[in-house]
Structure 1
């Protein structure tokens, strides 16, 4: 949806409101019983006449065309029909050729009042569709002009861009200069041949003819150089900047003229009084009101005709263009001819067909010609230099590719293998380990020592201490032998880290270390203490091992994080590259929306208000274009309910109200929706 489609939908609804007349009630006469409901707005005899007239084949055909031209029957997002379809529907009404044959008058005379009213409603619908098509055409022409104007602004912004533009344009200038020399030389040569004697011309040798031709060409070049002596004062870059400045001026004039034409149609076209409260009016309040809307349709068609004829004439000023349009509508021969009321529909239908078939395509062709003349150069002109460089270096590039074919293949294979190994080793494998940890898979547990290492060393220490106590019971319990109870007590103490019997022997042998070493108790005590130290170390390692196992999931997530981050970054980059310019990112669209709001503020601030404190036609047209761009940019940035509020505020901004009201609407948009636009 756009501003134009909203306007067309409102006007179409106004035509539907006007069509709430007896002949449409009569269409449903077969389903309604005559009585109080049927006679609330219409007398019973009129209801019967309307039912009879609307039961004819032509009336049914007109009703079908009426529905086909309605926006409610078309797509909600595209209520406008194409021009060819509107023209075909108009031709199907058989109104275009009524006044071209004498039998047309008799055919028209046979039509009843309600059928004639139906013809007017069909033409009203067709006028609304044509009105929307013209506004859409103007809108599609104004918006792209900003890019061309930006191009010339960039060329004029620095001498670097101006020099680049000069290089881009040099082949065209050389070609134009060559054609001028060729035409002038050809004309001079023909004049020389006509003035010379035929006999002398036959006697001349080929070399003399070439000398004559060469002298003619040299004279043409010299004369052309004298003609262009003024241009020699300026450098090629200065000439290019002057041309760019002239093109920019013409584009601004074209944009202003098109915006003025659009504003004329928006403000003056099809002014049915949309939004007026007619709830207290009867459908048959006055015949004058019924005829008034028909006059609005006729004047609007004349207005569209005059606007299309002169909107692309850049020699006119905007004020002259507007005055000429109004004067043309006032002096329109078809409006002032006081034609037969029965023939007005035929004249209007022919004029609508002419607008769709001749005037609108002609305007589009003229506008495209002006854009090609004053717009930015074609892609061939802008990119011939890099294209030529690429063409000249293509053989070298191809030779390098062929010579390094094997290396390139190896690089590609290495790149593929690296990506594959990274995926499996840094993404898949950590994920598998995390899943195993969650499922308490024994193979996935983190460990820094063997599972049964501590148990084996502790049992070995227990046996060593018990055997030592059996051999030295006096050191263990101070007796000559040990009972089972005493042995069990020693085992329990060893499990708790108590090796007192060994330490006592160790202390005793330290008094006489050489004797103890020879006897063997000191060495044995030392070895048992070494085993005890080993067990203590393994107990400490077991605590660390338990801590690692308790944080195994955390370590797994940390190990997975680098691979996931690299993968997400890579896929995001590839997505942005592959997406290209299919859609701007939200931040870019928000930034552009802010710039459009700035343009709207400039339009409202610099506008010269009319006597009624309203925007001029040109400023209103420019405002509608900027609002159209803003509406397309913001679509999707705002939540559903907020976007509906935004559209209401845009409606206040673009509606034909006082400039102060529009300025307040702009301020409201700025502070209300800045949260989403600046995001």
Structure 2
């Protein structure tokens, strides 16, 4: 997050040059100290300053090593460099130790215990180097603090925006903050009572009061007796706002009672809404100030630490002036008129010591107080109603679940497990097995409407019935007597006719029987003829079903696929819906806020770069907020940091390296607004689908 600070120092090799200069300076001092013969006071000064410099170098060694590692990886275009944050090595303990070194150095030089001898100019250069390193460490610590404090303010502001945007949210916020509101009201009444009666004493104690009770009576009369009047006075003052609201609305409303009830019963909600608005405004103001400070620190103060390795090393006095103005409560970003005046080393030390031990801690402390007072309520405040409800009802629910666990398990097994198992077995496994058997030409897989031999048996029975009936009634067809030779020929002819579906002889006999129906019924010929026709109808039905059966068998694979497709479609739909929910529902639920935050940052970034482009082209801006250069630059840095932080939850791993490269391109093109705007457009084109 704070890599943007160190990248500014690494851009022109200032840190590398300072480190190399320090190494050479120590080597020259050691060589000169061994060969030269200095007076005792000069020797004490050299030893003391060398000891402080070694101590300072030990404190900054982790930071310098991280900077060297990050710079080497960046030159190799290794994406792993982005995971190295050198500024994180400068902890609060490191700053405390560094500032103690600065205080000792300033105290010794002010008290005359250490001097800068002219015969050893390397000592003066070492002090200058220490001033630069100490100021740089405090700048990085302050910048890291401003960044870490300002970034979460967006979430706090969004929290209060969500509250003020919904009546339900206002009601929930009212319930959540009700205990703290009551506590604050009681504290306010106590303060008022204590202020009014701080010097109040009881003039006369009645004679009937026992001696052992006089102290209690005096405190009672001092604190408890006037409490009703003080409470009534403050409550009436507190209710003046709703009363004034009722009076102002009376001429617009026909129901003053309704307005009065609304303004009095809804007083807690109005108070909670006003407090949310108050907190939101304070956080937005703090965020604006911090963003302006970040822009001023990165663009104005950090560039003052510049050393090319060839020129003489000298502490820039404007660093102290810039840090002092940065930490002031009325920071405006304007330059100090006295910043260019010459200062002695002692003055620089004293001023820097005051800044590091007074101004910067004061800024951090005031910012911490503002954030602590105005940020969103704590976890306990927000969830105590749910905890209370859970304490009331959860044990009973858990007890009921434990007591009825067998019935619950049985219901789950019957209605869920068995249903899913039956569905999978009967609608997925069996149709797929039948399809596999069809592909293998397994006889057990044939789809049929009738049994295999039903048509043959019915047809043979029809043949036998027709042959017997026609042979017995042979005399109706011809006058030639029936012999064994004629019988065999007749049977073959009748069988061939029946197989071809020709029932002419049977129908002729049927027509003959219709001439004497009673006689034919009595002797049974009519009944036999009708039963033969019924059998013929049955055979015709079997033939039709056999044709349909052959058609189905020829399309058995199609029918198997049709049978299995509904279940397969259901399973496919469930799988696709589950995957879609996991990717766009369940997972997006955890990344939705990150996407929204990234979209807002991209929108703000493009707007700010557009403003920079307009300013570079000489156009005048109508908005005063976005006309502030430090605010614009600071907001750009904040949005870039926020984009890096939010997209780590959104983008896949294979895009992270390209994304970091493009973010660095946006940061590196600060002097070319048009090129920066083109880079942002390229980012929209490449990564827009992941952000939306």
| TM-score scaled by length of structure 1 | 0.67
Q: Is the 8 A contact 2:428 2:568 kept in 1?
A: yes
Q: What is the aligned partner in structure 1 of residue 419 from structure 2?
A: 422
* 1:528 maps to 2:528: no
Give the CA deviation at 1:495.
4.4
1:85-142: per-residue Cα shift (whole Å, max 9, x none)?
779999999x969967989999x97999xx99xx979x98x99888666545433322
Q: 201-210 or 439-448, which moves further after superposition?
A: 201-210
Contact 1:627 1:654 in 2 (8 A): no
Equivalent positions of 1:566-585 (< 5 A) are 566=574, 569=577, 583-584=590-591
> Where do 1:474-493 residues align within 5 Å?
481=485, 491=495
Q: Give the structure 1 partner of residue 457 of structure 2.
A: 456
Cα pair distance change 1:87/1:653, threshold 3 Å: closer
> Mind listing any 5+ residue stretches in structure 2 that lack a counterpart?
25-53, 74-79, 243-266, 619-626
State the alpha-carbon separation in 1 of the partners of residues 494 and 14 from structure 2.
Answer: 108
Q: Report how far residue 370 of structure 1 moved.
A: 1.4
| 2:309 alignment counterpart | 290
Secondary structure class of the residue paired with 2:81: coil
Equivalent residue number for residue 146 of structure 1: 154
Counterpart of 1:622 (choices 635, 647, 669) is 635
Q: Among residues 544, 563, 567, which one is paired with 1:555 in the alignment?
A: 563
How far residue 640 of structure 1 moved from its aligned partner, in angstroms, is 5.5
Whole-angstrom distance in 1 between the partners of 2:360 and 2:490: 118
Match of 1:438 among 425, 435, 438: 435
Q: Residues 427 and 567 of structure 2 are in contact (CA less than 8 Å); yes or no, is this contact kept in structure 1? A: yes
Distance, in Å, in 2 between the alignment partners of 1:540 and 1:177 is 94
Preserved contact between residue 160 and residue 276 of structure 2 (Cα < 8 Å) = yes
- Cα gap change, 1:553 to 1:256, in 2 (>3 Å): same
Aligned with residue 79 of structure 1, among 78, 84, 87: 84
2:220 maps to: 213
SS of the residue 2:670 aligns to: coil
TM-score (norm 2): 0.66
- 1:449 partner SS: coil
Residue pair 1:264, 1:617 contacting (<8 A) in 2 also: yes
CA contact (8 A) 2:466 2:532 kept: yes
In structure 1, stretches of 5+ residues that fail to align are 27-56, 275-287
> In structure 1, how many angstroms separate the alpha carbons of the residues matched to 2:654 and 2:82?
16
Cα gap change, 1:120 to 1:184, in 2 (>3 Å): closer
Structure 1 596/153 Cα, relative in aligned 2: closer, same or farther at 3 Å? same
Equivalences for residues 498-647 of structure 1 within 5 A = 498-545=502-549, 546-547=551-552, 549-550=556-557, 551-562=559-570, 565-566=573-574, 569=577, 583-584=590-591, 593-600=598-605, 603=608, 616-634=629-647, 636-637=650-651, 644=658
In 2, distance between residues paired with 1:360 and 1:78?
28
Question: Secondary structure, in 3 states, of the residue corresponding to 2:83?
Answer: coil
Query: Which residue, out of 278, 289, 309, partners 1:257?
Result: 289
Aligned residue number for residue 648 of structure 1:
662
Deviation (angstroms), 1:261: 1.7
**Which deviates the most, 371-380 or 8-17?**
8-17
Distance 2:137 2:542 in 1: 91
Work out whether residues 596 and 629 of structure 1, in 8 Å CA contact, stay in contact via their aligned partners in 2. yes
Q: Is the 8 A contact 2:665 2:679 kept in 1?
A: no
